């Protein structure tokens, strides 16, 4: 299955639980094809649980410069790795890649806050967001 096939499958999901189940199915096979080559997702091996009494939110955004479309997603897990919340969406028009990353983080924080989740660690692969959060901690 290539990246575009994965994207299409996830867009078809109507409910958060359906999206999570689809992601778990994809994780089981652990193989994606990028440009015809099989690659193993680094996220499968690099996720580390948060400390006890903390929740970890992992976010990501994607952007296609050619079509100016994109998507965003997040997952909230506890220290045991249990998925407590997940969400995903798409952009029919996106201006920049960072837009998708910011929306992923924003949606995750908003939904977690609505459910009363506290003691949150936010993780993103968007270096601009990570640096910005460090600069604005105080």
pLDDT at 2: 62
131, pLDDT greater than 60: no
pTM metric for this prediction: 0.62
Token pair, residue 75, equals 């997952």
User: What's 96's domain CATH number?
Assistant: 3.30.420.10
One domain for residues 54 and 117: yes
In terms of pLDDT, which residue wins out, 138 or 124? 124
Tell me what the mean pLDDT of segment 73-82 comes to.
92
pLDDT tens by residue, 99-117: 888 899 999 999 999 999 9
In angstroms, the CA 22 to CA 6 distance is 9
Asked if 79 and 52 count as a contact pair (C-beta separation under 8 A), the reply is: yes
| Whether residue 66 is found in the same domain as residue 9 | no
Supply the range of the domain harboring residue 60.
48-137
Helices (H), ranges, the chain: 3-12, 16-29, 42-46, 97-114, 127-135
Q: How many domains does the chain have?
A: 2
């Amino acid at each position: 299955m290539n990246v575009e096939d994965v994207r299409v499958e996830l867009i078809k999901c109507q409910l958060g639980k359906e999206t999570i189940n689809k992601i778990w199915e994809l994780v089981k096979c652990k193989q994606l094809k990028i440009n015809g080559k099989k690659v193993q997702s680094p996220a499968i091996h690099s996720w580390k649980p948060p400390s006890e009494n903390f929740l970890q939110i992992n976010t990501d955004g994607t952007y296609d410069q050619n079509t100016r479309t994109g998507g965003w997603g997040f997952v909230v897990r506890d220290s045991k790795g249990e998925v407590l919340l997940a969400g995903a969406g798409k952009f029919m028009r996106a201006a920049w890649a960072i837009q998708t990353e910011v929306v992923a983080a924003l949606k995750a924080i908003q939904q977690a806050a609505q459910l009363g989740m506290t003691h949150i660690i936010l993780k993103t692969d968007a270096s601009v967001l990570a640096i910005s959060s460090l600069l604005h901690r105080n």
